Structure 1
């Protein structure tokens, strides 16, 4: 089966969901806690491609889920068992519940039909959250994974999805990490072994046939 046909088969709107991972203002927006990651997400076009995919998913009837990482002001329940967590506690911008840092970053917009899943702990949007149960209730078999970072949360999301029996699709230009050359290497040597890797345009071509594609 040619790759385009295989991708089209995987992206059946009846059994596909799209997840945005930590595409929030405190992570990839102006004044984010990690300026280098935020800059890479924007300058690489990854964030703009996430927004394109979100719009196309809605138009195609694909469920959109936004996975947001946050913490309580008192830090209760948050992990401290890795350098990453301890370093995050010292960042000038905190992803505190109810603050602007936990809102979705432009140009991504949240629609009424979208699901927003927030987590107070861990590295993965799936492990220990409502995402798996929501996907099963939606009849999902394929999960399109977008967002940040290619260093930690994206591979966690893909592995957790695959371990739970979902097929994962990764639009390679709709994820970002640092340094810039790490992301394509990680995709090639890791994610490509367990997920279907495509470009944003290839995914859009499956969701929007040429005769109805905007523009």
Structure 2
């Protein structure tokens, strides 16, 4: 199918970046701390589509950033002010700095040109991290948001991107959350109000010309 001209203009490789959120082994991998989320990311096809988008971004010259959530073994600097953080401390798989759990999960390709941005605190891949400054320095105007979870980190990233003045594009089939029916409801009722909602195929068509 031919690319949508309006979407293609937003996704100009020279001014676009692809962000993968928490697509790390300890979250969406086979030994996930959150097996229900990992299963949904894989069985829905979201993880495979993220891999395809990442590969296409590499080919098209689109900057790729991988946002990874981790914590120090001693927990220093980590949040404890919400139920989610306290529960994470009790999980059998912990996202510890330097461990295999915080490596980008297969089958997502990673190249030397990719930027991996790690955070030790908070919920957002943008707020309190280097992502905003990196995007500005790269001349990025559009951020394509993929990954997990549609419950927390993905909407956080979209809101923060919009607040910082970036255009957010969300391939709705390249994000995942739990339960499965929550993601389309959140996209329809929330993300569609502040971002361009599209599909992975439409993004791939734009980047492949």
Q: Which of the five TM-score ranges fits, normalised by the shorter chain?
A: over 0.9
Q: Which stretches in structure 2 are left out of the alignment for 5+ residues? A: none
User: What does the per-residue CA deviation read over 1:93-114, in whole Å, with 9 as the maximum and x for residues that have no partner?
Assistant: 0000000000011001210100
* 1:132 corresponds to 2:96: no
Deviation at 1:6, TM superposition (A): 1.4
User: What does the per-residue CA deviation read over 1:41-96, in whole Å, with 9 as the maximum and x for residues that have no partner?
Assistant: 00000000000000001111100000000000000000000000000000000000
Match of 1:110 in 2: 110
Match of 1:40 in 2: 40
Match of 1:79 in 2: 79
Query: Which TM-score applies when normalising by structure 1?
Result: 0.95
| SS in structure 1 of the partner of residue 116 of structure 2 | strand
* 1:26 corresponds to 2:26: yes
* 1:91 corresponds to 2:88: no
Q: Which stretches in structure 1 are left out of the alignment for 5+ residues? A: 210-215
Deviation at 1:157, TM superposition (A): 0.2
Match of 1:212 in 2: none
Superposition RMSD in Å: 0.8
| SS in structure 2 of the partner of residue 190 of structure 1 | helix
Match of 2:63 in 1: 63
| SS in structure 2 of the partner of residue 144 of structure 1 | strand
Runs of 4+ deviating beyond 4 Å: none
C-alpha separation between the residues in 1 aligned to 2:30 and 2:127? Answer: 28
Deviation at 1:174, TM superposition (A): 0.3
C-alpha separation between the residues in 2 aligned to 1:125 and 1:142? Answer: 16
Structure 2 counterparts to residues 105-184 of structure 1, below 5 A: 105-184=105-184
User: What does the per-residue CA deviation read over 1:159-205, in whole Å, with 9 as the maximum and x for residues that have no partner?
Assistant: 00000000000000000000000000000000000000000001001
| SS in structure 1 of the partner of residue 117 of structure 2 | strand
C-alpha separation between the residues in 1 aligned to 2:98 and 2:108? Answer: 18
* Matched pairs, number: 207
C-alpha separation between the residues in 2 aligned to 1:180 and 1:43? Answer: 10
Deviation at 1:148, TM superposition (A): 0.1
Query: Which TM-score applies when normalising by structure 2?
Result: 0.98
C-alpha separation between the residues in 2 aligned to 1:197 and 1:205? Answer: 15
Deviation at 1:116, TM superposition (A): 0.3
| SS in structure 1 of the partner of residue 4 of structure 2 | helix
